[in-house]
Structure 1
Amino acid sequence: MLHNHTCSSSWMVCDPWTRSLSSDEKEDLKPVILHCESTDEVIASIKERTGKQVTAADVKGMKGELSTGRCIQIYFRLLCSEAGNGFAATTR
């Protein structure tokens, strides 16, 4: 295949196909991804466990993908029940 750039290891680290995690890897790393406050900690942990270099945008996407939204549902239920305004909170 002909490339318009060098195919060095530093280039391949940046390739989205190379750095994407499999569904099994995401499940294994789910606690780290969802519960670590620091994006840098998540990136370092993924690098240490899988050898893959992910970006902050990748981590944000994975958090959104793996999140169940349960906290949001509970918050709105509490908000509506305390307000007593008769609005029913719906679940997703």
Structure 2
Amino acid sequence: MTMDVRGQWGLGQGNGSTVLLNVRQQDPDGSFGGTATVDGHAAGVTGKVTDSEIAFQVEHGIYIGRFTFEGRLTGLTVDGQNGHSQATWLATELFGPL
């Protein structure tokens, strides 16, 4: 069973950037899509979620994270263009099963 990441939720990044996601659809296999706003710039988001992990891409940013047993989501983002720019992140919401 996958975690339910549908709806609006945000990320606070360790580098000070903020990301607001609006996940509009999530398939039973965990694939999802929607929109994201990164520091005021709109972009698309696509990804996949399981019961314990998430991976998604917003433009050139690649996000990988894990859910804690409470449903908190934390992870790391990497710049997909150069791989040198990295930041940790923490979601603003708690998540439960789909």
TM over 0.5: no
Q: What TM-score do you get using the length of structure 1 for normalisation?
A: 0.23
Greater per-residue helix proportion = 1
Higher strand share: 2
Q: TM-score, normalised by structure 2?
A: 0.23
**Structure with the larger RCO, 1 or 2 (CA within 8 Å, 6+ apart):** 2
